[in-house]
């Protein structure tokens, strides 16, 4: 298992669905597994993006702050960045970008990451408001989300692609988080147009899937009644 | 990631379904990831079981041999054994054992392994006959399988349990392989009754999922047309 070909994942997307939102990994531990990543905080406390080893949180007010090593997360990805240039793109929307990158990379059946830097237009992000115990389902909790938009902004998009086979454990397909260069805008990306930008690409041959086995709520939960795929599609 | 809490998996069960049966890891490399494991050879060449660092193959003639480090596999699991005693059981069938172990371990939502040593009755195993290029689907290839039975035999059963969320990547639920103490009988387990035996248990918090990214057939395959879940249920 090479350092640069491994994608680390803590938790699963599936555990968010019934509202297993305890923070079960600290940011400090997540950063031991990578200098780049995405995630959400305990109770769906905002949207996280890690760039160059620095963990930024976009909260439901749209405010961007750097979180401490003690910040905890129920679900997160990280990896050590070593992106190779893949493409320079102009005027592509989210669907175009996804399709072109799948076609260029020919990596539909494995995990990979994209790092897109440049100028984005009509970008729409969201961040969920932190909820407290007892947690409700993802669908309920995600109702308390804020939507943010920018007509034009320069920044960085970090994206993870997971094969459909792993949908439920991960987000099948692409999962994009964004942060602006001025650190005043970001979140989980819902839509965008890339005016002009460069795409870096990093392929993984290994998913290091870590599960919160010391979390009683997780270990005791009966997942058979959860509509994982349906709920993920509705929320992502 | 601790050595004893990580389950290594090379390939996915899903890739066997359309017949992506190239051997994409050597036994030598698999043994670097554990001293205990299960798998199948290139072209579904028999059933493998690794015990105490020794890799045994049961072929379609029912013959048990130790394979070399150069032997290749499309799909395999391995881990470093550190089983803790979980139960002593008498006169339980496969379903009973599975249910009791899930109930005792309370580990339905993570990966774990069982090692059952003792006397087995009415044990039924299978091993598939190696097929060559061009490979057919799992359903077609698995038609060339042999069934072996023993009224009574002492031996070791190695089992991996995977949460249903990972069905397709792994075998959701239990996946048992067996080898007799005299090394004259074994294979992928279809049925058994445990007359008397001891169950060792080892919990994993991490799945290290390795994918054959250098295999062109795997990377180019369109999985959207494969009925992964249905085919796995029919074959396992």
Best interface-test mutation with B: which of A79, A165, A168, A201 has the largest number of B CBs within 10 A? A165
Q: Are A183 and A120 in contact (CB under 8 A)?
A: no
Q: Percent of chain A at pLDDT above 90?
A: 92
Best interface-test mutation with A: which of B210, B221, B224, B226 has the largest number of A CBs within 10 A? B210
CB nearest to A219's CB, from B107, B168, B223: B107
Question: CA-CA distances (angstroms) from residue B39 to A184, B71, B192?
Answer: 51, 11, 20
Task: Please tell me if residue A31 touches chain B, with a CB cutoff of 8 Å.
Answer: no
Give the span between the Cα atoms of B153 and A18, in whole angstroms. 45
Find the length of chain B: 236
3-state helix vs strand vs coil in chain B, percent to 5: 20, 50, 30
Residue A2 predicted with pLDDT over 90: no
Give per-residue pLDDT as tens, B200-221: 999 999 999 999 999 999 999 9
* pTM (2 d.p.): 0.97
Sketch the domain layout of chain B as residue ranges.
3-235
Average pLDDT, chain B: 96
Give per-residue pLDDT as tens, A21-38: 999 999 999 999 999 999
Residue B2: list chain A partners with CB under 8 A: none
Give the span between the Cα atoms of B141 and B136, in whole angstroms. 6
Residue B24 predicted with pLDDT over 60: yes
Closest by CA position to B115, among listed B66, B148, B155, B150:
B155
Band of residue A215 on the pLDDT scale cut at 50, 70, 90: very high
Band of residue A236 on the pLDDT scale cut at 50, 70, 90: low
Instruction: Name which residue leads in pLDDT, A1 or A65.
Output: A65
Closest by CA position to B118, among listed B96, B88, B138:
B88
Q: CA B9 from chain center: how many Å?
A: 10
User: Which CATH number applies to B3-235: 3.30.420.40, 3.30.1330.80, 1.10.10.10, 3.40.50.300?
Assistant: 3.30.1330.80
Give per-residue pLDDT as tens, B34-74: 999 999 999 999 999 999 999 999 999 999 999 999 999 99
Q: Which residue bears the tokens 């070399």?
A: B68
Q: How confident is the model at residue B5, as a pLDDT? A: 98
Best interface-test mutation with A: which of B165, B203, B206, B231 has the largest number of A CBs within 10 A? B165
Residue B212: list chain A partners with CB under 8 A: 205
Q: Percent of chain A at pLDDT above 70?
A: 99
Give per-residue pLDDT as tens, B89-128: 999 999 999 999 999 999 999 999 999 999 999 999 999 9
Give the span between the Cα atoms of B56 and B34, in whole angstroms. 14
Q: What DSSP designation does B172 have?
A: B
Question: CA-CA distances (angstroms) from residue A120 to A64, A86, A186?
Answer: 18, 18, 12
Q: How confident is the model at residue A181, as a pLDDT? A: 98
Three-state DSSP at A164 gives helix
Name the strand (E) or helix (H) holding B229.
helix B228-235
Band of residue A142 on the pLDDT scale cut at 50, 70, 90: confident
Q: Are B51 and B137 in contact (CB under 8 A)?
A: no
Give the span between the Cα atoms of B131 and A103, in whole angstroms. 32
Task: Please tell me if residue A17 touches chain B, with a CB cutoff of 8 Å.
Answer: no
Q: Percent of chain B at pLDDT above 70?
A: 99
Residues facing A66 on adjacent strands: A56
Q: Are A118 and A196 in contact (CB under 8 A)?
A: yes
With a CB cutoff of 8 Å and minimum separation 6, the contacts of A96 are none
Residue A210: list chain B partners with CB under 8 A: 1, 205-206
Q: Are A67 and A130 in contact (CB under 8 A)?
A: no
Band of residue B236 on the pLDDT scale cut at 50, 70, 90: low
Band of residue A231 on the pLDDT scale cut at 50, 70, 90: confident
Question: CA-CA distances (angstroms) from residue B164 to A42, A137, A222?
Answer: 25, 20, 11
Strands (DSSP E) contained in A75-162 are 75-79, 84-93, 111-128, 145-162
- The structure tokens listed for B158 are 């190695």
Residue ranges of the alpha helices (H) in A41-177?
Answer: 94-105, 138-141
- The structure tokens listed for A61 are 């007010």
Task: Say how many C-beta atoms besides its own lie within 10 A of residue A138's C-beta.
Answer: 26
């Amino acid at each position: 298992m090479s350092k640069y070909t491994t994608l680390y994942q803590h938790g699963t997307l599936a555990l968010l669905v019934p509202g297993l939102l305890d923070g079960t990994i600290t940011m400090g531990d997540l950063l031991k597994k990578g200098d780049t990543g995405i995630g959400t905080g305990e109770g769906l406390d905002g949207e996280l993006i890690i760039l160059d080893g620095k963990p930024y949180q976009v909260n439901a007010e749209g405010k961007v702050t750097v979180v401490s090593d003690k910040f905890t997360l129920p679900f997160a990805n990280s990896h050590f960045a070593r992106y190779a240039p893949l493409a320079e793109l102009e005027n592509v929307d989210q669907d175009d970008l996804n399709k072109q990158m799948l076609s260029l990379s020919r990596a539909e059946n494995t995990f990979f990451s994209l790092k897109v830097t440049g100028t984005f237009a009509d970008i729409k992000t969201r961040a969920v408001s932190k909820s407290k115990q007892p947690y409700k389902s993802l669908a309920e909790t995600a109702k308390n989300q804020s939507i943010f938009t920018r007509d034009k902004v320069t920044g960085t998009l970090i994206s993870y692609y997971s094969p459909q086979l792993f949908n439920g454990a991960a987000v099948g397909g692409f999962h994009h988080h964004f942060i602006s260069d001025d650190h005043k805008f970001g979140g989980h990306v819902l839509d965008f147009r890339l005016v002009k930008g460069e795409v870096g690409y990093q392929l993984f041959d290994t998913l290091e899937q870590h599960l919160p086995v010391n979390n009683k709520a997780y270990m005791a939960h009966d997942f058979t009644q959860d509509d994982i795929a349906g709920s993920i599609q509705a929320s992502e």
